[in-house]
Structure 1
Amino acid sequence: MSAPIEHGGRRAFARLAPRAMGWLGFYGAVLFAWTGVALMARGLPGADLGSVPAEFWAALCASAGEAEPVALWAMWALMASAMMLPTFVPALRTFTDLGATGATTGAGAVALVAGYLSVWFGASAAGAAAQAALARAGMLTPTGASLSDWLTAALLVGSGLYQFSAFKAACLAKCRMPLTFFMQHWRPGAPAAFGMGLRLGAICLGCCWALMALGFVGGVMNLIWMGAATLFMTLEKLPEIGRHLTRPAGWALIVAGGLMSARALQLV
């Protein structure tokens, strides 16, 4: 009896090993991204761990002539990877679970993640451009935080109102039901998986872009904000938890924006 059991155990291990290695690679990428962000945030000895050193930002976006667009985009891409890959776990797990039926492969899973990240890398270019423009206008600190009460108020109120929008609700509903998404858009093969990853990335961007823009309120590389935002966006995509978070967060942001507007008007 031991030989069949041993043989069956080896076959089970052979099936599970590639999947386990895939997940190790995925979480390794998340760890790499967060490590890179932390190293940038740490910067020079004695620098505040919660933000990038002033010298780094001054070199990137102090003026249009001194800006380094590729370096700034790379920073945003690393930040987006660190924050958004954890929120992609439910969709990726659903995709890999379909592998039990032979419907997916490891290459397909890699292609799915690549498609998803491609969208966020594109969005990172927009974020980098916005930061460079705001820095040149003198509206950001060297650490990428807003210097303008009105800009801060607009970001807070805008993000709060977006929490109640029909577009946010539609994107969030799809993020919360990855199996339904795959049932609607499923096609076999790695190229098709890349396309589904693009779709999921676009949906996720529609869900989370306004929250990501709040980085300009406290500093785009502030680790405390990044960690809190990542946790919130991850929980918001969980059906049983997220439905209790979206609207209260919207009201909180609107109230905070109103208070900031009152401060700008010197009413408080």
Structure 2
Amino acid sequence: MLLSRIKTMTGMHWLVLFAVISVSWFMLFAMAVPAEMRVYSKLYGADFWVALCTVTPDAAGLARLFLMWALMSAAMMAPTALPAFGTYDDLVRSTGRGRFSHLVIGYLTIWLGFAALAACIQMMLTRWGAVDLLGQSQSPILTASLLVGAGLYQFSALKEACLSKCRRPISFFMQHWEEGAWRNGLRLGLVCLGCCWALMLLGFVGGVMNLAFMGLATVMMILEKLPDIGRWLTRPLGFGLIAWGLFALVGAFI
């Protein structure tokens, strides 16, 4: 069903959406290029990217972190919302009402807010020495807390409620259809945030600029929102994260 819906997606707004996803991943790759690979700098300018990737304890450093988290939110969360976007697009076509672009703007508003909060958290953790300049935890306590916390959240009623809405987007949209596209986008962003915020913060475990780790997290979040697959994934993933967190904590003190 999802594949057939995606195959029918046409129009400029879909081109723009996929362009945003592609450009976001490309920019994250460019920001994550390590020093020994700066030969790539000939393509996009070394000074700009070196400055962009440097965390400094000032407003400029916070702005760079916000940009990174905003790109990460777009790159990771837009793909997970494709079923919901496709459903809304179908409803707009069938009813002749609604603005797809307004839905996406509302959705991204929520995730830009999350990006701002995550940037502030990373700035504080960097100042305290809890994470390094690539956003990876240097503290066994922080690592274990994030992993166990994310694992426990997998079993929470809030997580289940948010997932149920993401897995049945047509019921979700019909329930709030009269509120308009922008407010539906805000609501969709909030339930998506409720599904994924704990998994997103695991970037501090694997390194927020570790694209392999964040790419794997994206795949997990996409699968978790699919009704036929996600219900078999959520709880086992929770057990796995809790076990990983306890193992990391015990291993740090052995």
Q: Taking structure 2 as the reference length, what is the TM-score of the superposition?
A: 0.87
Choose which of 198, 206, 216 in structure 2 pairs with 1:228: 216
The match for 2:187 is 199
- Aligned letter for 1:74? L
The match for 2:46 is none
Q: Point out where structure 2 has 5 or more consecutive residues left out of the alignment.
A: 1-7, 41-48
The match for 1:59 is 54
The answer to whether the 8 A contact 2:199-2:217 is kept is: yes
- Aligned letter for 1:76? W
Question: What CA distance in whole angstroms lies between the structure 2 residues aligned with 1:124 and 1:136?
Answer: 18
Choose which of 161, 166, 170 in structure 2 pairs with 1:175: 166
Tell me the matched-pair count: 239
The answer to whether the 8 A contact 1:156-1:257 is kept is: yes
Are 1:255 and 2:236 an aligned pair? no
- Aligned letter for 1:117? L
The match for 1:13 is none
The match for 1:147 is 138
Q: CA deviation at 1:66?
A: 7.5
The match for 2:228 is 240
- Aligned letter for 1:177? R
Choose which of 67, 70, 73 in structure 1 pairs with 2:66: 73
The match for 1:39 is 30
**Where do 1:212-223 residues align within 5 Å?**
212-223=200-211
**Where do 1:119-134 residues align within 5 Å?**
119-134=110-125
Q: CA deviation at 1:263?
A: 1.8
The match for 1:101 is 94
The answer to whether the 8 A contact 2:54-2:133 is kept is: no
Q: CA deviation at 1:44?
A: 4.6
- Aligned letter for 2:96? A
- Aligned letter for 1:131? Q
Q: Point out where structure 1 has 5 or more consecutive residues left out of the alignment.
A: 1-16
The match for 1:166 is 157
Residues 1:22 and 1:55: Cα distance change in structure 2 (over 3 Å): closer
- Say which is worse superposed, 94-103 or 115-124, in terms of deviation: 94-103
CA RMSD, Structure 1 to Structure 2 (Å):
2.3
Q: Taking structure 1 as the reference length, what is the TM-score of the superposition?
A: 0.83
Question: What CA distance in whole angstroms lies between the structure 2 residues aligned with 1:24 and 1:121?
Answer: 21
The answer to whether the 8 A contact 1:57-1:143 is kept is: no
Question: What CA distance in whole angstroms lies between the structure 1 residues aligned with 2:81 and 2:65?
Answer: 24
Residues 1:89 and 1:142: Cα distance change in structure 2 (over 3 Å): same
Secondary structure, counterpart of 1:244 in structure 2: coil
Question: What CA distance in whole angstroms lies between the structure 2 residues aligned with 1:165 and 1:104?
Answer: 36
Question: What CA distance in whole angstroms lies between the structure 2 residues aligned with 1:259 and 1:57?
Answer: 35
